[in-house]
Structure 1
Amino acid sequence: MTLKEILQIRNVRYFLMFRSSYFARFYYPIFTLLYLDYGLTLSQFAMLNVVWAATIVLAEVPSGAFADTLGRKKLVVLSSIVMFIEIAMIAVVPTGNPTLVFSVFLVNRILSGLAMALASGADEALAYDTLKEQGQEDLWPRVLQIQLRIASSVGIVVTLVGAAMYDVNFMASVFNFLGLETPQNTQDIMRIPVFATLIVAMIAIYSALSMREAKKILPPNTTKWATTVSSLKLTLNTGKWVLSTPYVLFILLYYSLFEHTSRMFLTMSSQYYLAINIPIIYFGFIGAGISLLKIILAGQSRRLAESLAPKPFIAVMGIATIATYYWISLGWSIYGVLPALLLIFIIMTMNIFISYHLNKKTESHNRATVLSFKGLMFNLGYGLIGILYAYYYKLVSQNYTEQQIAEHVDFIASLSSFVYYFAFIFITISAAFYLKERKLMIF
């Protein structure tokens, strides 16, 4: 099937549009710096992300079950609306009162987590089941490859423009051209990427509304409350099925480890780039380079994920990730970008592998619920690493002077924790897998 034919499938087309616009956020290239410029500390930043993850943990699986029973489109639409609201909050919050700023960002993180939980699994299930209805489910890895390339193409524009919006010198020339007062620091321009993201959020709302789903008709003598109870039962039954299916359980455990450790680091990537002496204006070029890398290597990632047997694939990815985190922890000036790029490729390949094998083993009636368990396990891990990192960073920073902290020496020193954390959990999961594999052939 050609690309044009794939895009003619309505739910697949709007799934691609939704994913590309939902994550197209102009403030991502300077995410950590944005929070710090609003007046938050790095420890507060880490803890706010723990709140974000905890919200998803509480809402993730029930939302997936509701998607399977009440309708997936409803949750995707609601997710896009909540996402718009949470971005609008930080676009307008005044910065004079630190307590107010923290409170608003706290609510923002809760709403952001809720929005992620509502969409997680539901949009993917809509698109996958549309393919399955047509007997084309084998096209799913290709759809993921297309989605990766489209999102990366959009990401090139978003990261370049977003980083430029945060560069004082560049924006000063823009302001002068428009006859406006010249900005003096990043605090004067920090809201511009946020307002730009609000505009893109409208595209996500449009694409969510444009998806189609067969109307769910309640059986005779069935109330909404009974359907809600049914949703919760589906959640419990799916949880039991995941725990009793080693293939799925270990796939999810490995996914969570790879994803939440990389997400924690990549969330702080702007701080990392600043620490290795890269000017803010180049953050956009790095982001564009990452997007270009994804476009070029998407095919290789898909072929690697499909062709390599699960056990050697996971072993190679695990060893490569440990080596990459060690390279990152060295904090090499300028050249420290290279391991960050390698980490992107590893996670990109791992995500295709996980989605391919998870959907392959999951039935349609509980697909969104299982995919929500995938998000649940990721966010449990993300919450854990967020708490541990916030505590570890606070301990590490106490050993450095204010001058060293200003030069980000303490931040670079804290990055070694990623090596030890990932290696310890990877070895633990692999040991459990080995013991289970001796009793029962899993892969």
Structure 2
Amino acid sequence: MTLKEILQIRNVRYFLMFRCSYFARFYYPIFTLLFLDYGLTLSQFAMLNVVWAATIVLAEVPSGAFADTLGRKKLVVLSSVIMFIEIAMIAVVPTDSANLVFVVFLINRILSGLAMALASGADEALAYDTLKDQGKEEAWPQVLQIQLRIASSVGIFVTLIGAAMYDVNFMTHIFQLIGLSVPESTQDIMRIPVFATLLVAIVAIYAAINMQEDRDTLPKHDSKLATSIASLRLTLNTGKWVLSTPYVLFILLYYSLFEHTSRMFLTMNSQYYRAIDIPIIYFGLIGAGVSVLKILLAGQSRRLAESTEPKTFLAIAGLVTIATYYWISLGWSIYGVVPVLLLIFIIMTMNIFISYHLNRKTESHNRATVLSFKGLMFNLGYGSIGVLYAYYYKLVSQNYTEQQIEQHLDFLASLSSFCYYFAFLFISVSAAFYLKNKQKTIF
């Protein structure tokens, strides 16, 4: 299918708009720095992300089941509205009280996790089933490739502007130009990228509202209680199916491992860039470079995901990822950006691979539920690594002086944990796969 033909499909068009606006957040290039400038510590930041992951774990699968029974569009719309609220909270919170800031960010992480859980699986299921109804489901990898390219194009703008909004020198010129008092530190300008994201959230709400769902395909029940019971039953049945289907189970296990480990590191990438002495203004240029990389290599990612034999793909991806985390742990100035770019390419390709194989093995009636299990397994991993990293970082930082901590030496020393953590789990999952595959061929 051509790009024009794909964009003519309403649900696919608004799916692309929703995904691209939902994740187009101007504060992402300086995500960790933003939290720290609000007055939080790095350990608090890690634990807040554990709360975020725990919320998704609790809400992920039930929300997917409700999407399959109550309606997927309802959940996508609700997700976009909650997203707007959670961003608005940190946009206006006063920073006079450290306790108040922590409580507001705690609520923000809970709402953010809930919003993510509600949308997870539901938006993808709407778009995929529309293609399937038209007999065009084989075009799904193309849709994912287009999503990567559009999101990356938007990301170039968002990351460049977002990082510039957080650079005091750059914003000083802007403030002088419009006749405002110049900012003295990042605390004076830290809310600007948050307010900019709030405007983009409105686009996500618009896209969600304009998605369509065939109500006739939803199960009919006599009451809301009956619908809830049906949702929980679907959740249990889907869980049993996932556990009894090795193909799907190991796809999800590998996905969770690659995704939650990389997400934990990439969440802290602004702190990593600062630790290897990269000025804040360049964070946007790096982010734009990442987006260009995705645009240029999206087609290659799709071809690798579609054509490479699964066992070969997973083995190569695992070994290269271990080497990449080791490279990151060296903390090389400037050149330390290269392994980050490599890690992003691996994860980009892995996501297409997982979505391609998972959707092929899943029936329409429980697609959103299965995709929610995908999110559940990722967030179980993300929550676990968040707790472990927060504890490990606290232990490591005790061995450094305040001056060394200001130089981020403790943070750089903690990065080797990613290599050991990923290598241990990758070998463990692969050993389990090998034993299971000997009994009966999985891939």
Query: Which category of TM-score, normalised to the shorter sequence, fits these structures?
Result: over 0.9
Show CA shifts across 1:151-202 (max 9, x none). 0000000000000000000000000000000000000000000000000000
2:221/2:227 contact within 8 Å kept:
no
2:5 maps to 5
1:139 maps to 139
Show CA shifts across 1:7-63 (max 9, x none). 000000000000000000000000000000000000000000000000000000000
Distance in 2 between the 1:216 and 1:339 partners? 49
1:14/1:211 contact within 8 Å kept:
yes
Letter in 1 for 2:161: V
Distance in 1 between the 2:360 and 2:285 partners? 37
Secondary structure of 2:184 counterpart: coil
1:104 maps to 104
Distance in 2 between the 1:307 and 1:52 partners? 35
1:159/1:284 contact within 8 Å kept:
yes
Query: Structure 1's 305 and 219: CA in aligned 2 closer, same or farther, altered over 3 A?
Result: closer
1:264, distance to aligned residue in structure 2 (A): 0.2
1:71/1:216 contact within 8 Å kept:
no
TM-score, normalised on structure 2? 0.99
Show CA shifts across 1:106-143 (max 9, x none). 00000000000000000000000000000000000000
Show CA shifts across 1:197-220 (max 9, x none). 000000000000000001258877
Letter in 2 for 1:393: Y
Distance in 2 between the 1:212 and 1:292 partners? 32
Distance in 1 between the 2:337 and 2:345 partners? 13
1:324 maps to 324
Letter in 2 for 1:161: I
1:243 maps to 243
**1:289-308 map, 5 Å:** 289-308=289-308
1:224, distance to aligned residue in structure 2 (A): 1.4
In percent, how many aligned pairs have the same letter? Answer: 82
2:178 maps to 178
2:397 maps to 397
1:380, distance to aligned residue in structure 2 (A): 0.1
Distance in 2 between the 1:238 and 1:217 partners? 19
Distance in 1 between the 2:273 and 2:60 partners? 32
1:347 maps to 347
**1:15-414 map, 5 Å:** 15-216=15-216, 222-414=222-414
TM-score, normalised on structure 1? 0.99
1:221, distance to aligned residue in structure 2 (A): 6.7
Distance in 1 between the 2:12 and 2:349 partners? 21
Distance in 2 between the 1:221 and 1:346 partners? 44
Letter in 1 for 2:42: L
Q: Structure 1, unaligned stretches of length 5 or more?
A: none
Query: Structure 1's 218 and 199: CA in aligned 2 closer, same or farther, altered over 3 A?
Result: closer
Q: Structure 2, unaligned stretches of length 5 or more?
A: none
1:222, distance to aligned residue in structure 2 (A): 1.5
2:69/2:218 contact within 8 Å kept:
no
Letter in 2 for 1:422: F
Secondary structure of 1:164 counterpart: helix
Letter in 2 for 1:327: W
Distance in 1 between the 2:290 and 2:72 partners? 31
2:69/2:219 contact within 8 Å kept:
no
Q: Which runs of 4+ in 1 moved over 4 A?
A: 216-221
Distance in 2 between the 1:122 and 1:250 partners? 22
Letter in 2 for 1:317: A
RMSD: 0.9
> How many residues of Structure 1 are paired with residues of Structure 2 in the alignment?
443
